[in-house]
């Protein structure tokens, strides 16, 4: 990892009495008011590390995805394809699908970013992260995923992945962020979720049919990246880039 972007260990939080015991006269540093400053510092550190990142895509997926599995290899292809398309790859910095995307990005010569979270059962950032930071607060961490991304790609995952997916959809739906594509990879895995949204949530009037239009579903990594690139560039530029890509592919095929 580039030493300039190495994560700092977040401070341990203690009660006023614990702080006072360890540092006489400093008990006020354990109060809620001071905790607000610690929260603020996480935003400052995150913004500082990512300010010059350029175009990026956030990739989510399960920490339990096994190395060498089909899902892991898909994650590697996602990271590689995004890097080749000119995007930095942002993940949660953990193992599994996150590691796979970071690995693919690094091996393709791209920028590999890990935005970790301090949890008792997490072992820190994966070894393929070039720029990394570890947060204590989930809400500060989530801000980084959204603020610097031109789109989201979501691989099969569990509760944490679903949390990140639905937060992104909520922000786009409510107009709190600029509309960007949310692409799910894995039809077999995600179709049940989309069916439930359509046949239960929307059917009972709890959401609008238009809300499903926020989500794209595919098994094709190249298509996922193309969806994000097209939305990022706009129709005219996207068509020109696609045409150039096709011509380049034809030249290579012709030898």
- Do the domain assignments include residue 2? no
The whole-chain average pLDDT of the chain stands at: 86
- Do the domain assignments include residue 230? yes
- Do the domain assignments include residue 1? no
- Do the domain assignments include residue 4? no
SS3 content of the chain, % helix, strand, coil (to 5): 55, 10, 35
- Do the domain assignments include residue 23? no
- Do the domain assignments include residue 134? yes
Categorise residue 24: left if φ over 0, alpha if ψ from -120 to 50, beta otherwise. Answer: beta
Strands (E), 95-218: 112-117, 131-135, 152-154, 182-185, 215-218
- Do the domain assignments include residue 16? no
Summarised one tens digit per residue, pLDDT across range 167-198 is 999 998 898 888 889 999 999 999 999 999 99
Average pLDDT over residues 18-42: 69
Alpha-carbon distance 253 to 249, whole Å? 6
Residue 155 in this model has a pLDDT that exceeds 70: yes
The domain total for the chain is: 1
Q: For position 242, which CATH number holds?
A: 3.40.50.450
**Structural domain of residue 42, as residue ranges?**
28-254
pLDDT at residue 26, as a whole number: 61
Whether the pTM exceeds 0.85: the reply is no
pLDDT at residue 10, as a whole number: 44
């Amino acid at each position: 990892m580039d030493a300039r972007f190495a994560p700092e260990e977040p401070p341990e939080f203690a009660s006023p009495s614990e702080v006072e015991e360890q540092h006489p006269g400093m008990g006020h540093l354990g109060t809620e008011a001071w905790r607000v400053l610690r929260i603020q510092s996480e935003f400052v550190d995150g913004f500082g590390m990512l300010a010059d990142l350029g175009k990026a895509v956030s990739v989510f997926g399960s920490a339990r995805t096994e190395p060498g599995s089909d899902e892991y290899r898909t994650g590697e292809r996602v990271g590689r394809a995004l890097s080749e398309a000119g995007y930095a790859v942002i993940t949660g910095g953990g193992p599994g699908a996150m590691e796979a995307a970071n690995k693919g990005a690094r091996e393709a010569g791209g920028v590999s970013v890990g935005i970790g979270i301090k949890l008792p059962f997490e072992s820190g950032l994966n070894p393929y992260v070039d720029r990394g930071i570890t947060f204590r607060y989930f809400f500060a961490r989530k801000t980084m995923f959204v603020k610097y991304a031109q789109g989201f790609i979501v691989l099969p995952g569990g509760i944490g992945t679903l949390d990140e997916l639905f937060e992104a959809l909520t922000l786009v739906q409510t107009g709190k962020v600029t509309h960007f594509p949310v692409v799910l990879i894995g039809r077999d895995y995600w179709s049940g979720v989309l069916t439930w949204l359509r046949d239960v949530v929307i059917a009972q009037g709890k959401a609008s049919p238009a809300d499903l239009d926020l989500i794209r579903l595919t098994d094709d990594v190249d298509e996922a990246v193309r969806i994000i690139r097209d939305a990022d560039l706009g129709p005219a530029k996207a068509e020109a880039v696609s045409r150039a890509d096709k011509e380049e592919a034809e030249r290579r095929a012709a030898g």
